[in-house]
Amino acid sequence: MSRGWKSPAHNINVNCISPGPIDTPGFNKVFTGEAREHASDIVPLGRVGLPEEVASAVLYLASDEAAFITGQTLAVDGGATMV
């Protein structure tokens, strides 16, 4: 959930990252073999994401370049929410 809110007194923008299937120990514990292949198949980019790709999105939203972005949910899912 993202909350479209800006605190002028504290200069805080509120946004949300919504990751898709990400190659993490938890993901790999649950999704093995055919399940992992299926997870890759449902992502338009044809693969699961990397933790670094989610981190890059977080860093962007925390940067000055995203100063005018608030109240948004950024899907970092290789296009899975488009399907």
Q: Once rounded to an integer, what is the mean pLDDT over residues 43-53? A: 97
- Please give the average per-residue pLDDT across 41-69, as a whole number: 97
> Which whole number is the average pLDDT over 35-60?
96
Overall residue count recorded for the chain in this entry: 83
Q: How many CB atoms lie within 10 A of CB 2?
A: 15
- Helix, strand, coil shares of the chain as percentages rounded to 5? 40, 15, 45
Compute the distance between CA of residue 23 and CA of residue 50 in angstroms, rounded to an integer. 5
Q: Which of 33, 15, 31 is nearest to 23 (CA)?
A: 31
CATH numbers and ranges of domains, the chain: 6-82 (3.40.50.720)
pLDDT band at 27 (very low <50, low <70, confident <90, very high): very high
Mean pLDDT of the chain: 91
